[in-house]
Structures are given as C-alpha cells and as structure tokens.
Chain A
Amino acid sequence: MSAEVSVPIERDADIVTARQEGRQLAAAAGFSSADQTIIALAISEITRNIVSYAQRGKVTLSRMDEGGRRGILIVAQDDGPGIPDIDLAMRDGYSTAKSLGVGLPGARRVMDEFELVSALGKGTTVTMKKWLR
C-alpha cells in the first residue's frame, strides 16, 4: 500500500512535525510548491485545534488514488470535549480559545473536501482531501 504517516499530536511542537510530514507527502504526491505550502498550512491549523482544545490526538496523512484521481487525505482525530456548535466554529472569525478563529474555516476554504464530525464528550474528527489537478 502507499505511504501513510501518523503523527501523534500532544504538544505544540508536534504541529510543526505534522505539517512537515504533510509537506513531504504532498511533494511526493506531485503537488506544486504553492499547494504543498497550502496543505502544510491547513495541517497546521487543524492540528493546532487539537492542541488548543483537546490536548491530545493524532493526525494521519496518506495519499489517495481513486480511479485515476490522485490526492492527499488528512484525518485529524482527538478524544477531547467535542465542539458544541459546529456552525459557529466554522464561521470566520469565531474562536473560543487561543486561536484566531480563521483556522478551521480557512482550512476548509483551501481544501477540496472538508468534513468535521464532533460528538460532545467524545471528540472531534476533521477529514480533509485535496486533489491533484
């Protein structure tokens, strides 16, 4: 199977590791350097969300190949408190804690697919995809 990388997210330094891994994987998948940067940035935002709100979780990065369409799949999971109001969290400029409130909606804007599933008391999973054009 193709490469899959999993990075545990427990401290702020792990955010740097996660986005560096993401950039490498994106480069190997054939993304332009501009897109690699965008992917690294989106990973930075969703993993920071884990550090800020859930303390611990992990992000899994893998390459996708679905019937000739290729891309990168990023799944960030945590077992933190969950997000009470997803619509509100996805609104530009909204933030309950330390982040600036552009992180999640910003990441959604730059990825081709973005899904956020959250259950109160159980945790949050963000799934993002970006396809190679």
Chain B
Amino acid sequence: MADEIQQAASKALMREMGLDEANIERRKKIVGFEASDVPRIAAIRDLVTQHTDDYVTTFFNHLSGLDDARSLIASRAIAERARQLKREHLVAMVQGEYGMKYVEQRIELGTLYAKAGLDARVFLGAFHQLLKHIGSAVMKQVDRKPLDGFESFMSLKKIAFFDIGLIVDVLVFERERVIRQQQESIRELSTPVLQIRERLLLLPIIGVIDTQRARLITESLLRSIRANRAKVVVMDITGVATIDSKVSNHLLQTVTAARLMGAHVIVTGLSAEVAQSLVALGIELSKLNTVGDLQGGLEEAERILGYRVLTTATDAGPAPEGS
C-alpha cells in the first residue's frame, strides 16, 4: 500500500521533471550508452548480484563515516528503505533494461535522499566507493582478460553516470521546488483579495505591477469573485508606484475580466498626478468607474449593493467621477 503510494509519487515526479521515454533515450545517448554495452554488462551480472549485500554495505559504511550524511543514517526507517532500494538498484543495474521502470526506481531513491537532505556531493562520494569496490572485484575475476573486464566495467559505469544524472536532477528539482513554493507564497501575500461585506471585495494593489503579477492578481480576483459570489469589487491603486500605458492596460484587463463574470469594479486611489499623466499619455480610462478615494469607493459600492449609508446628511453617495 505504502509502496503503491510511493510509486504513484515517483511517477508524478517523473512527469513533472519531463522524464518520458524520449527524455530517457536522450539521457542514454548523453552517457554514450549503446546496444553493445548490454552483453558487456551481462558478463559481470552474476559477480554483482552475488555480492549485492557487500556493495550495499560499502555504500552505507562510507556514509555512516560522514557527518554530512547523518540525516540519512540517523532515521532508521529512511536508512532501512534506502538500503533496500540500493540493493534493488544494484540488481537492476546489471539486468540490461534501463527504461521507465528502471528510472522510476532511481527517482524513488533520489526522492528519499532529498527527503533526508542528502547533498549531491555526499551521495557522489559514497557511490564512487561502491563503484570502486565493484571495479576491483571485476578486475580480480577476469585476471586472464583484463581488457574484457575493463570494458565490462566501463559499460556499467555508463549506467552509473546515467543514474547519477537522475539522482542529481531529483535533488536539484526538489530543492528548486522549495524555492518555487516560497516565491508562490510571497506572491500570494502580495495580492490579497479581502471580503469587506457580503458580495463586496476589496483588492488593494501595492507596488510594482508587471505582466506576471498582473496575471496573478487577475486570476486570484476572478477566483474570489466566484468563491464569494461577489457583485462589487473595489480596486484600490493608491499603493501603485507608477502607472504607465502598460500597467494601465493590465489594470484594464483585470477590470474587464471581472466584468465578464458579472462583477462591477470601482477603481479608487488614482492620484491627481497619475490621472494627469494618464491623460497626457492618451490612455483610455473612460471605461473605468473611478472614485477619488477608498472611502468614497466603498460608499459607492455599498450604494450599488443596496446598502443605505447613514454617515452623512445625504443618502446618495458621492457621484462617481468620469461616468
């Protein structure tokens, strides 16, 4: 059961990393793997499979001597699983089949290393020890024909480098994932959509707006409109540093998209300077419902929603500018 979950996770990661058959074939080409390598590896198959446990021990002994690998060795559950996978790895390495299934197993082990926080350089060190051990055994066995032994070992090494490529990529990918997630949460923090009242959302926009951010703002606003069944959105741009034609275009797109969903958008916080520069630039903002400040915008929103504002003597909110 746990295995199945793990397998599904490995498969998903492979998709994310773009590890399909074409990619795997390219990776084989990169390490120079050819059909002629298969019989050479087969020649040392028994030698490797008969001593799997020794090689696994070599690998983990090397790691236990290193402070940098403590996190992998310290957790019994992780270490046990890693041993088991390493054993399977060594057997698979000499079977001559290096397709999706083989890669999936490598990915699972790589994910385990990533989870344990194992650095690529530490893994490389231990893996090299293991290869050295296999190399010596091969050379000992084939003492009559050293060239054959060397060739077999070099063929196996191609697979070893193929494996290293995969493991290092998993480690890098997982590390980048953390960075991506952090960036994602920073972005989300920077584009809050607040529900002020039933059916009324406030979208304060602060800072610099580029294409990417405008996209995120629009996407999150549209989702919020649906989730909150919003009818009116007050978009406050007091905190927007500069508004040029590009930025105003982005804002206009956001407003248009919200309207398509049936929400009415009121733009507030357009300073006199910004308004003047927009006019000077010839930017079309007549399509926008603008209200001077946030308070006025909220009052206008409440009026549209049918609330009666009782804070002033008159019960009609301030007239919207430019409409």
Contact = CB atoms under 8 A, between A and B. Distances in A.
Contacts of A65: 18, 20, 22-23
Interface in B10-68: 15-16, 18, 20-23
A70 B22 CA distance: 12
Interface string A22-43: 0000000010001000000000
Contact of A68 (B15, B18, B22): B18
Contact of B20 (A2, A34, A68): A2
Contacts of B244: none
A2 B22 contact: yes
Interface residues of B, number: 8
B27 to A, nearest CB: 12
A65 B15 CA distance: 12
A97 interface: no
A1 interface: yes
Contacts of B20: 2, 65
B18 A70 contact: yes
A110 to B, nearest CB: 11
Contact of A1 (B18, B22, B219): B22
A68 B17 CA distance: 8
Interface string A47-70: 000000000000000000100101
9 contacts: A1-B21, A1-B22, A2-B21, A2-B22, A34-B219, A65-B18, A65-B20, A65-B22, A68-B18
Interface of A: 1-2, 30, 34, 65, 68, 70
Given A2-B20, A30-B16, A65-B20, 6 more contacts: A1-B21, A1-B22, A65-B18, A65-B22, A65-B23, A68-B18
